[in-house]
Amino acid sequence: MFVNVFANNTAQPQGGGFDFMTLALFVIFGLLIFMMFRKQKKVRAQMQEKAQTMQEKMRPGTQVMTQFGLFGTVVSVDRDENKAVIELSPGNTATVHLQAVSEIIEPKDAVVPDDASALAGGNEPSVFREDESSDEALKRLNEEQNKDNK
């Protein structure tokens, strides 16, 4: 009366070959490993290129930043011992390993205005007039301030 639900009516695969899914899995796995090694090789090449350009640019007088955030000026470089002496402030120096220098600070071209009008803060009109001297301008401004306070 008991019915055997798990009857062995299913066909078992005969043969020892690979099926398509197993082959595709191995191909994808191999491709993934190939891409990872390729990416590592590119990153390593970029790091070496950056290190070489930094070594070429690092000479006395160059502004640098270390990996731990100190800014300073290179005083001397000893490539045989991989050391650099950096002046942090006038009279204070630190000797660091060359690999501790993480960035070379490029000087920015600063625009220096001819007068103080650029410091006034934008489009505000200047309080100075071209036809008066500094003494006359101060006198006029004091008188205007006294009028405002009354």
Which pLDDT score, from 0 to 100, does residue 1 have?
A: 52
CA distance 140 to 37: 76
Which pLDDT score, from 0 to 100, does residue 61 have?
A: 87
Q: Is the pLDDT of residue 120 over 60?
A: no
Q: Is the pLDDT of residue 21 over 60?
A: yes
* 104 Cβ contact partners less than 8 Å away, ≥ 6 residues apart: 54, 57, 58, 62, 63, 64, 65
In CATH terms, the fold of domain 59-104 is: SH3 type barrels. (2.30.30)
Residue spans per domain, the chain: 20-57, 59-104
CA distance 113 to 25: 67
Which pLDDT score, from 0 to 100, does residue 122 have?
A: 54
